[in-house]
Structure 1
Amino acid sequence: MDKTDISIGLLTYMSEGNDNPDSMFFSRKIHHPNTASGVKSGRGAENAKVYEITKFLVVLSLTFFSGSTIASSINDYNSLDKLKKLDAVSCQGVKESDGYSGLAWCIDRVYVESNEKIKKRVEEYKTILKRSDDKKYLLAFESAQKAWAEYKVKQCSWETISTVKNSDAYNYLNSLCRLTENYNRLSSLKVDPAIP
């Protein structure tokens, strides 16, 4: 392309990329030249940071599930600040500059930790319920807990149905869904059970 054909953005066009197909800076295709730069859609045309594009595509894929748990949890747990408020230790050392990879790693770590919190809280509940002479309370709680665990698996399968299994988007959304369900369950288990 001749620079005289460009009426808007000539400075950017001249300062970034080139038209040599053998160069790493060849810009006639969508590419990501390095981690400090955004995705380019053409010579000098920077669209956004990779993290923002990935996040946008994940959110876009959820528009079909606009009323779903995962769609609302994108806003609840989709930033390092929000995740660090849930669990400061699991995301220790992860920075915004780590981008999508850092966020995904943090979500996985917080999810693993939320599993541990669920296990601990369930055991606390069982200990309280075992004090009752009537075992129906303990049996009812165990049944409810088993049903919730099955629900979580099925709900998160539904939430991720539009993604390719074991892809980055699937793993991200699956961990985010399970993390969300775990924290919803922890919220419902905050108060100790009342038994006669």
Structure 2
Amino acid sequence: MSYFKISNETAVQAFKDFNAAKSALIEQATVLANHFGGEPIFSNRIDKVSFAGINFHNFNQLENNHLWFKPKATNCFASEPKYGKPKAADREALEAIKATYNAMKPEPVSREPLLASLGVSYGDCLFSRLDMFLHNDVIYLDTSLPLIDATEIFGSEYQAAKNEYTAGKKASKQPAQASAA
């Protein structure tokens, strides 16, 4: 394993842009899933992050569940509206569901600009490890790939930055506690 850090402004901005777009995708997908009474499921691939469908916890009790694809383990229990020709009685209801679903469905977020700013493509990542995170405007990477503008660092520096990053994420997720003074 090799550890690197990149503070190149272009790469850092590409990382921030990717995270902002990913947050927007998650927010839009959550609104869509909540509209239909479920939770969003995402596909996290090397080249992109995308909305995969809705997880209905009560699929069998769902009104008009025959208009949705049945959740299966092979599709991570994601459902989306059926396509094809429905029965005449269901045509109008299915078209309404599809129209709302398609209008609210978020576009996938590509990782290509971020990977390009690091000097790699998604094809390079198929057989090589690439773990990365952004902390204090520095991208820390754990990879064996050749990178642009990267400085190799010791594992201890990488681990210290990762511990700070993880602690910061945990602290931001905990609700603020009010103190009585």
TM-score bracket for this pair, using the shorter chain length:
under 0.3
Bigger share in strand? 2
Higher relative CO (Cα under 8 Å, sequence separation at least 6) belongs to 2
Bigger share in helix? 1
TM-score (norm 1): 0.26
TM-score (norm 2): 0.28
Structure of greater Rg: 1
